[in-house]
Amino acid sequence: MDAERIIEIEDAHDSHQFNKKIPLLHGEGAILYGQDGTPFIDCAGAHGVATIGYAHPRFVEEMCAYLQDKRPITCGHYYDENRAEFIEKLLAVVPKNLNRVFFGNSGTEAVEAAFKFAMKYKKDIKDKEIVAFKRAFHGRTLGALAATFEPRYRDDYVFIPGVKHASYNDAESARSLVNENTIAIILELVQGEGGVYPANDDFPAALRELCDEKGIPLIFDEVQTGFGRTGKLFCLEHYGVQPDILCLAKGIAGGIPMGATITTDAIMDAVTPGSHGNTFGENPFACHAGIVSLDIIQQEHLIEHANKISEYLFPALHALAEQHPSTIKEIRGKGLMIGVQFRNKINEVMQALQDEGVLVLNAGVTVVRLLPPLVITMDQAKQVIEAFEKILDRE
Ligand code: PLP
């Protein structure tokens, strides 16, 4: 189908919920190709999903072999060796207190499950409350959206009551909102959608202390920060703090939709069997994708590679910020989760970068967010900086 026809059909008949840019034909590594074959360096990374990049040869081979071997795609009512293996692999890399896995299909469902599990764990509290943070993004389903802060995502919807938003990086603000009805505290260790704001060094530990004192679960939403995005397999490793519930998705399964909510035994034991569930969540195809993707990240040392790229990108971006202080306000982030805070709206900057062959994401209206695949090459990273240089020199 040609590009015009694709655009015509989608514009006429899809939901118009997504701000669409260009039709894409295929991808390889960190490069996406437009319908006419134009290459783009993909610093949007499919919203941070594409950790192992596009068309990774081992991923393609193993997923094709899975289907050719007629392996099962059944649901969670049958035992499956792929699921068992993926559970084992996940539990080997998360904090040791986390011992039970619930699989879903997306980030928002991982958060939704976390809230439901916390509600079961604290079933004796009647008017349940959850503390989240200003600027937080936890997803679009009604439970997760209740914890998401941005008003334009929330307008006109009706939520579970009792979610309160404290100031991020301010443990005293969280403490002031916790009371006898609080059942959990949830946070992103680097706020992504809200503008790429990393947690201060001592913030997660202070929340851990608060949760221990009150006997409530601490939930880390690592949907965006997980699987190597911030320079460690999980961002919690930067802080040395373990949550009671860990939410994962995006980079979990090489691009196949999947989410996971990982909890302690005590929390999952409180969730009566059958009181939560889904159809696709435990599917062995996605579990197989998870195994292969995690193997690739570990065996090909993608995090070490991504850290080298990050060690190049941060100083290069800081230098640009120094050269253009009236245009760039701040550079923030960790690993390959980078926010370039501009002083003005970034619509034109994003278009100009695209014209220079670099696809980026926004995080709010003034932050350009870079979430490239971990396999991005040093040469490609240099081209990204050159594209920024070009458009900034025009300002
Ligand atoms: N939590 C965080 C921190 C996210 O960044 C996102 C998505 O961007 C979500 C939850 C929701 O994930 P999904 O879009 O897969 O539902």
Same domain? For 341 and 380 the reply is yes
pLDDT tens digit string along 29-61?
Answer: 999 999 889 999 999 999 999 999 999 999 999
Q: Say how far apart CA 221 and CA 191 lie, in whole Å.
A: 9
Beta strand residue intervals within the chain, DSSP E: 24-28, 31-34, 39-42, 100-104, 129-133, 163-166, 182-187, 190-191, 197-198, 218-221, 245-248, 259-263, 328-334, 337-342, 358-359, 361-362, 367-370
Q: How many CB atoms lie under 10 A from the CB of residue 204?
A: 23
The ligand 1 atom at the shortest distance from the C-alpha of residue 111 is 10
Percentage of the chain with pLDDT > 90? Answer: 95
Same domain? For 27 and 116 the reply is no
C-beta of residue 187 within 8 angstroms of C-beta of residue 132: yes
Mean pLDDT of 277-306: 97
Does 361 have pLDDT greater than 90?
yes
Instruction: Please report the pLDDT score of residue 21 as a whole number.
Output: 86
Q: Say how far apart CA 155 and CA 144 lie, in whole Å.
A: 14
Same domain? For 223 and 107 the reply is yes
Instruction: Please report the pLDDT score of residue 283 as a whole number.
Output: 94
* Residue nearest ligand 1's atom 12 by CA: 107
Q: Say how far apart CA 320 and CA 324 lie, in whole Å.
A: 6
Q: How many CB atoms lie under 10 A from the CB of residue 15?
A: 6
* Residue nearest ligand 1's atom 10 by CA: 138
Sequence letter at residue 252: I
Same domain? For 369 and 263 the reply is no
* Residue nearest ligand 1's atom 5 by CA: 224
Q: pLDDT averaged over the chain?
A: 97
C-beta of residue 241 within 8 angstroms of C-beta of residue 205: yes
Same domain? For 226 and 264 the reply is yes
Which two tokens mark 184?
């959990």
Same domain? For 239 and 327 the reply is no
Same domain? For 37 and 124 the reply is no
Q: How confident is the model at residue 74 (pLDDT cuts 50, 70, 90)?
A: confident
Instruction: Please report the pLDDT score of residue 318 as a whole number.
Output: 98
Does 180 have pLDDT greater than 90?
yes
Pocket of ligand 1 (CB under 6 A): 47, 106-108, 111, 137-139, 188, 192-193, 221, 223-224, 249
Domain edge (last residue) among 299, 324, 347: 299
Sequence letter at residue 223: V
Beta strands 358-359; 337-342: pairing state: unpaired
Ligand 1 pocket test: which of 108, 246, 248 has the largest number of ligand atoms within 8 Å of its C-beta? 108
Number of structural domains in the chain: 2
Same domain? For 149 and 115 the reply is yes
- How many angstroms separate the first and last alpha carbons of the chain? 38
Instruction: Please report the pLDDT score of residue 72 as a whole number.
Output: 85
Instruction: Please report the pLDDT score of residue 40 as a whole number.
Output: 98
Same domain? For 95 and 179 the reply is yes
In a domain, 146, yes or no: yes
Same domain? For 255 and 385 the reply is no
Domain range enclosing 382: 3-56+301-393
Instruction: Please report the pLDDT score of residue 73 as a whole number.
Output: 84
pLDDT tens digit string along 96-153?
Answer: 999 999 999 999 999 999 999 999 999 999 999 999 999 999 999 999 999 999 999 9
C-beta of residue 309 within 8 angstroms of C-beta of residue 301: no
Degrees to nearest 5, angle at CA 45 with 41 and 49 = 155
The total number of residues written for the chain in this structure: 395
In whole angstroms, what separates CA 86 from the centre of its chain? Answer: 19
Residues whose CB is less than 8 angstroms from the CB of residue 13 and which lie 6 or more positions away in sequence, other chains included: none
In a domain, 64, yes or no: no
Q: How confident is the model at residue 392 (pLDDT cuts 50, 70, 90)?
A: very high
Mean pLDDT of 64-85: 92
Does 395 have pLDDT greater than 80?
no
Backbone phi, psi, residue 186, to 5° = -125, 140
Helix (H, G, I), strand (E, B) or coil at 230: coil
Strands lying side by side in the sheet with 328-334: 328-334, 337-342, 367-370, 361-362
Residues whose CB is less than 8 angstroms from the CB of residue 18 and which lie 6 or more positions away in sequence, other chains included: none
Same domain? For 142 and 274 the reply is yes
Which two tokens mark 26?
């295929």
Ligand 1 pocket test: which of 138, 150, 256 has the largest number of ligand atoms within 8 Å of its C-beta? 138
Task: Report which of 140, 111, 105, 146 is spatially closest to residue 128, judged by C-alpha positions.
Answer: 146
Beta strand residue intervals within 230-327, DSSP E: 245-248, 259-263
Does 194 have pLDDT greater than 90?
yes
Mean pLDDT of 251-261: 98
Domain edge (last residue) among 299, 331, 354: 299
Task: Report which of 272, 275, 227 is spatially closest to residue 247, judged by C-alpha positions.
Answer: 227
Backbone phi, psi, residue 150, to 5° = -60, 120
Percentage of the chain with pLDDT > 70? Answer: 100
Instruction: Please report the pLDDT score of residue 15 as a whole number.
Output: 93
Q: What is the CATH number of the domain that holds 243?
A: 3.40.640.10
Output the pTM of the full model. 0.98
Centre of ligand 1 from the C-alpha of residue 138, in Å? 5
Helix (H, G, I), strand (E, B) or coil at 344: coil
Same domain? For 129 and 48 the reply is no
Instruction: Please report the pLDDT score of residue 19 as a whole number.
Output: 87
Q: What is the CATH number of the domain that holds 353?
A: 3.90.1150.10
Does 345 have pLDDT greater than 80?
yes
C-beta of residue 252 within 8 angstroms of C-beta of residue 103: no
Centre of ligand 1 from the C-alpha of residue 332, in Å? 19
Mean pLDDT of 204-230: 98
In a domain, 61, yes or no: no
Which two tokens mark 247?
């939410």
The ligand 1 atom at the shortest distance from the C-alpha of residue 250 is 15
Helix (H, G, I), strand (E, B) or coil at 101: strand
C-beta of residue 48 within 8 angstroms of C-beta of residue 188: no
